[in-house]
Amino acid sequence: MAFGDDDTPSLPLNEDKDPSASPSNPTRSLPTEADGAASIESITHKIQESLSVSKRHRFWETQPVGQFKDLGDASLPEGPIEQPITLSDVRPDTYTLPALYEWSTCDVDNDATAAEVYTLLANNYVEDDDNMFRFNYSKEFLRWALRPPGYFKAWHIGVRVKANKKLVAFITGVPARIRAGNEVVRMAEVNFLCVHKKLRSKRLAPVLIKEVTRRVHREDMWQAAYTAGVVLPTPIATCQYWHRSLNPKKLIDVGFSRLGARMTMSRTIRLYKLPPLPATPGFRNMEFRDVPAVTALLRDYLSRFVVAPDLDEKDVEHWLLPREDVVDSFLVESPDSHEITDFCSFYTLPSLILNNATYSNLKAAYSFYNVATKTPLLQLMNDALIVAKQKGYDVFNALDVMENESFLKDLKFGPGDGMLHYYLYNYRLKHALKPSELGLVLL
């Protein structure tokens, strides 16, 4: 979430075709392993070296976000950068749009509106750099993503053409409790900034960002979390997506991945072959009766990380109870004691395959939250791969956050070709985080 002025460039938060501008990244696997993620300091230095002074982040330098110039300054306090103003001082009316457009609150419970949002995103949202894949969020996924406990319908913001009411732009926020260090902070998670391709010159993006910020402030919230594939002032962490092939022939046929040197298709298929059934005794689908046990597992596990969500049972019920083709969750129940000892989950985010005569859809699973206490994490995640393969997924994606790095190479994940940067708005951490210190997955 960020302010934007009319004289600033459109802010690159999930609007352009760069797939890594979204928390869920369809970047393709590479045949060889990429170098490890560079430190934020070195990335920043390279970016600043390549820019003239006049083109540096003038807008972001005016905002309550961590600044590049402050990197390494231990004297700055951790916590809010600016204190909240009184609610009566928050602008009460909406920002002004160009004359041909009007604001619209998008009720995703309404089938017609959900279909409009789906169509806008399916035709204009995040694509990879070669215009081969575009995210294809389902209506069911959008309803799940945008209606967590305590959500505000007013934070689902659209822009329509006055003359024909066509939806041409969109941005959303949802409320969350995120723990940063020892402090639990009420924040907005901002996502789905999308402007119709034909209107990218109309400067709608900055106004959308200002408007969602205003509406968040009206609810007495002053911090936010978001991600981007570009370096802005200043990431709290820089992460990388890794991809595990489940249907290697299809992935190669559509150009998502390439046949390795000295590899045939048959050898590649054998390389990625998985057992037919999970190996762990007591591995089963999560059910409603498991919510208290899963909540306890997750809360204990997430307490290890510097930044992580503060989840209660209502959150776990919403985010992690299985929903067909939206989110899958599995756990390990001890056959003897019936104790819930381990948990894994992934969400479903397919991509449209563009300009391919044979295939139109790529079914991708994204690792969500995983907790291993009795079962080795490597074994637990191999079981997750097996059930994803059983369910017809083509690829399984995972960020190198939390303890994920410990299983990626052993389970034959390959590194993606983009980096994902996490940001906090109006909240400073003293030190940038390693991916392994981050316990937060944003959709």
Say if residue 137 is in the same domain as residue 277. no
Residue 336 inside a domain? The answer is: yes
Q: What integer is the mean pLDDT of 303-312? A: 98
| Weakest mean pLDDT among 3-12, 225-234, 384-393, 405-414 | 3-12
In whole angstroms, give the CA distance from residue 433 to residue 443: 20
User: Any bridge partners for residue 133, and if so which?
Assistant: 353
* Residues with catalytic function: 443
Say if residue 80 is in the same domain as residue 209. yes
Say if residue 212 is in the same domain as residue 284. no
Q: Is the pLDDT of residue 394 over 90?
A: yes
CATH number at residue 406: 3.40.630.170
Q: How confident is the model at residue 76 (pLDDT cuts 50, 70, 90)?
A: confident
Residue 13 inside a domain? The answer is: no
Q: Is the pLDDT of residue 47 over 60?
A: no
Taking the mean position of all CA atoms in its chain, how far away is CA 230?
14
Amino acid in position 169: A
pTM: 0.87
Q: How confident is the model at residue 69 (pLDDT cuts 50, 70, 90)?
A: confident
In whole angstroms, give the CA distance from residue 15 to residue 191: 10
pLDDT tens for 114-148 read 999 999 999 998 766 677 888 899 999 999 999 99
Q: Is the pLDDT of residue 415 over 70?
A: yes
Q: What integer is the mean pLDDT of 34-63? A: 53
328: containing domain: 238-437
Q: What integer is the mean pLDDT of 320-331? A: 98
| Weakest mean pLDDT among 183-187, 219-223, 366-370, 413-417 | 413-417
Q: What integer is the mean pLDDT of 394-402? A: 97
Residue 194 inside a domain? The answer is: yes
Nearest to 221 by CA among 318, 147, 151: 151
Q: How confident is the model at residue 39 (pLDDT cuts 50, 70, 90)?
A: low
Q: How confident is the model at residue 33 (pLDDT cuts 50, 70, 90)?
A: very low
In whole angstroms, give the CA distance from residue 428 to residue 34: 30
**Percent of the chain topping pLDDT 90:** 70
Say if residue 343 is in the same domain as residue 306. yes
Handedness of CA 101, 102, 104, 110 (dihedral sign): negative
Q: Is the pLDDT of residue 36 over 70?
A: no
| Weakest mean pLDDT among 24-38, 142-156, 348-362 | 24-38
Q: Which residue, 198, 232, 266, sits at the end of a domain?
A: 232
CATH number at residue 63: 3.40.630.30
User: Any bridge partners for residue 328, and if so which?
Assistant: 346
pLDDT at position 45 is 53
Rounded to 10°, the helix 111-124/139-146 angle is 100
Q: Which residue, 232, 256, 272, sits at the end of a domain?
A: 232
In whole angstroms, give the CA distance from residue 423 to residue 230: 11
Residue 295 preceded by cis peptide, ω within 30: no
Amino acid in position 237: A
Say if residue 251 is in the same domain as residue 104. no
Structural domain count, the chain:
2
Say if residue 42 is in the same domain as residue 95. yes
Say if residue 51 is in the same domain as residue 161. yes
Say if residue 191 is in the same domain as residue 51. yes
